[in-house]
Structure 1
Amino acid sequence: MKDIRKETIYFLFLMIFFISACAPNPAATPTPTTPPVIFPQTPTPFVPECSSIETIPTPAASDASLFPPVSDADMVLGPTNAATTFLFYGDFQDPPSAELALVLIKLREKYPEDLQIIFRDFPLVTNPGHEKAAYAAHASHAAALQGKYWEMHDSLFIKQAEWSLLSIKDFRAWLSLEASLLSMDAAQLAADMEREDIIEKVKESFILANEVGLPGTPFVLINGQIYAGNLSFDALDQIISLILLGERQYTSCPQMVIDPEKEYLAVLETGNGEIVIQFYPASAPIAVNNFVFLAQAGWYNGITFHRVVPDYFAETGDPSGTGQGNPGYFFKNEIDPSLSFNRPGVMAMKNIGENTNGSQFFITYDAVPSYDGKYTIFGQVLSGIDVLEELSPRDPKIGEILPSGDTLLNVTIEER
C-alpha cells in the first residue's frame, strides 16, 4: 500500500494562507498579496522597474493527477473545460462527507460554468455505523440507469439523517419512496440495485481507494492535487476565486498609458455614492499608470472592498475578494518624502514588502504616520470621505464566514 503522505502535493496558492503580513505599527495593516497563479497571455510592453511574477502555476484542471484519471466510469457533473475540478471520494453514510456534499451543491450553484464535480465511492463498510454505505452507493448507480444519478446522490446526502439509522429493510423502503419523489421507477431501482455490475462497480471503487491508501472520507483532490485544508464553503469558494483570477492575470507589466505631466482623477462608484481621487503622477508614475491601466481594462469593476478596518483604512483591488490576489506582476515602491500619511483620505498601494505592489490599494480613514516610507502614496481623496466611512467592516480570514462586503462598482478615469 502506498504511503500517500509522500505523494501529497499542496497547491502553491494555498501556501499563501499561512503567510502573515509584514505589519508596521499600528497592527492593522493592509493584508499581504502573494502570487497565486499566472495563466492567460496578455501581451503588453514591459515597463522598467516592474516585473512579472515567475512562479510555478497552480495546476490546471487538465494537469496530470496522482490518482486514476477521469474515465467514462466516473460520475461527473459540470463542464469538461471548467477551471476547477473537485474529485471527491466519499461515503453516503458518513456525516463529514454529507457536509462537504452540501457545500459542493452550493458551489455548483454559484459556479455552474467554472466548476466540475467528480464523485467516487469509498463506502467505509468495515466501520461501525456504515452498514448501509454500500447499499446507498448501489442506489445511486441504479438511479444513474434512469438518468437520475446526481438527484439521488444529492438526496442521499441531504437527507442522510433520515435514513442513516434505519434498518436495511427500512432503508430500502425509504429508497422506494425517495425514488417516487424523484420521478423514478421505484421497482426498477430496487431491481437494479441487485445487478452484479453495479455491486462490482462499488466494490472495485472501494478496493482501488484502499490500494491508493486513502485515510478516510471525505478525501478531496482539486485539479488533480490532494487538498487537505478547510472544507467550508468560504474556504473552497476562495480557492475557486483565486483559480478564476488566474485566468485574468497578466504575464507582463502594463504599457505606459499616462502622461506624467498631465493631471488624472478617478471616480470610484460604490453603492453608497462616489469617491473622487486626485492622483500624483509626478511622484508615483508607475503606480498611477498601473491603476489607470487596470481601471481602463475593467479590473476594478464589481469587486469587493475586501478589508475594511474602521479608523485605519479600506482596502480593495483584488477581483477574487480574498485579499490574496494580484494582477500577475509586481512593481517597485515609489516613495516621495514630500507625501505623508498625515491626514484622512490618503490612497496608497498595498504591499507585502519593498517592491511588491500589484493591484490592491487602500485609502486611510485617519492620519497613520507610521506608514510613511513603507507604502507608495499615489493619490488623495478630494470628495467622498463620508462614502468611504459607510463601508461595512470586513477582515478576510481563510475559512471564516465573511459578510458580503461593499462593492466597488466601477472606476472612471479623467485626464486633464
Structure 2
Amino acid sequence: MRQRSLIAITAALAAGALTLTACGSRDEDGGSDSGGGGTTVVIGVDAPLTGDLSALGLGIKNSAELAVKTANKEKTVEGVTFKVESLDDQAQPSSGQQNATKFVADKEVLGVVGPLNSGVAESMQKVFDDAKLVEVSPANTGPTLTQGPDWQSGKKVRTYKSYFRTATTDAIQGPFAAQYIFNDAKKKKVFVIDDKKTYGAGLAGTFTTEFKKLGGQVVGTEHIDPETKDFSAVATKVKNSGADVVYYGGEYPQAGPLSKQIKAAGANIPLAGGDGIKDDVFIELAGKSGTGDLSTSVGAPVEELPSAKEFVANYKAAGYKEPYGAYGGYSYDSAWAIIQAVKTVMEDNDGKLPDDARAKITETMQNVSFDGVTGKVAFDEYGDAVNKQLTVYSVENGAWKPVKSGTFTG
C-alpha cells in the first residue's frame, strides 16, 4: 500500500534479470534469507505502515516478507532471489497512487501486494493496469474493484485485468453479517452508521439490503467524520432510536470510540462491523463496555486452520514485533501467488524471464492455484478469490473469539 522509489532498469534486463527491492523491511536485505541465483525479482508491498491503521499494514508487510524469505530459503524458483519493496500509503488514496507510479517506474518490480483500503486501491488500479503490473490485495473487499460500479444490478464488468485479491468481498460479507445478526443474534432493529469511505459505505449498504430483506428494521442511519473521535451526537441518536444493535461500516480507529460512547449514552447494545474493525486495537479503544461487540472477517480463524500452522510458527520464529493481524495469512498468500506466477512464466521460457515479464505474469495469475495459508487460493473470472468463507467474532474477556464460520447463502 505504500510507496518507495525503485532502481532504473539496467542492461541486465535484456538478459532477463529483473529485480524487486524493499524499503522499510525488517532487515537490510529486504526479506531475502538466501541467494537463489543471479536473477533478483522484487515484489512491492503497499500498505499503511504509519498512522491509525498501521497495526494492519505492518502485519501485511511482515507476512509478505515472510513469504519471500520462505521462497528464497526453499529455492522455490530456481535461480531467482526475491526481495520486497515496502511503501507507506498512510491509508490515503493520493499516497497510494504515488506509490503505484513509483512501483511502475522501477522495471524490476514484477508484482505488488496490497493495498489495505479499497479507496486506496481505486487510485492505484489504472496505474498498474496501464503498465500490466499485477496487483494482488490481501484485504480489499469493495465489490466495484473487480465487478464494476453496476455490480449490484447484475451488470458485472471487470475493468482491470491486472487486479486480483485473496480476500472475499463485501457483496458477501455484508449479507453474511446481516444473516447472523438477524437469525442468530436475534436483533431486529438496527441503527446503521458509516464513515462515508469506499469500504465503509459499501459494506453498510450490502448489510442494510440483506437485513431489510430478512425482515429487519433500520431505525436510523448516520454518517460520521472519520477525522474526529467525538461521536456523542450520533450516540444520542442511537439511544433515542430504540435500536437493539448498531452496524458500523468503517475501521477500528473510529469504531472503538464509537462503541464506547454509544454505551456511555445509555444504549447498552452491541456494535457490529466488518473486517475493518477486527483488530485488538478496537478492543483497547472500546474498553470493557465493548464486550459483546461483533465483527465479521474474511476466511476462517488462521489459528484454527491446519494449513496455517506452519505460517503461524514461522511468523513467530521470525521475531516480528507486530502481530500478523487480520490479513497476515492473506498477505502471505498474495505474495506466494506472485511467486508462483513468476515460477510458471520462467518455466515456460526456458528458465528465464521474458522481455514482457510483467504482462506474462499478469496473464498467468488468472490460472494460479495452490493450497495456501488461508485455504484454496485461486481466482474467478473477475479476479476475486474463490474462497468465500467468513467468520463472525465476538469480544469476550478482552479478546476476539470466533463464534461462527461459514459462507453467505443468498
TM-score (norm 1): 0.23
Higher RCO (CA 8 Å, separation ≥ 6 residues): 1
Q: Which has the higher helix share?
A: 2
Q: Greater CA radius of gyration, 1 or 2?
A: 1
TM-score (norm 2): 0.23
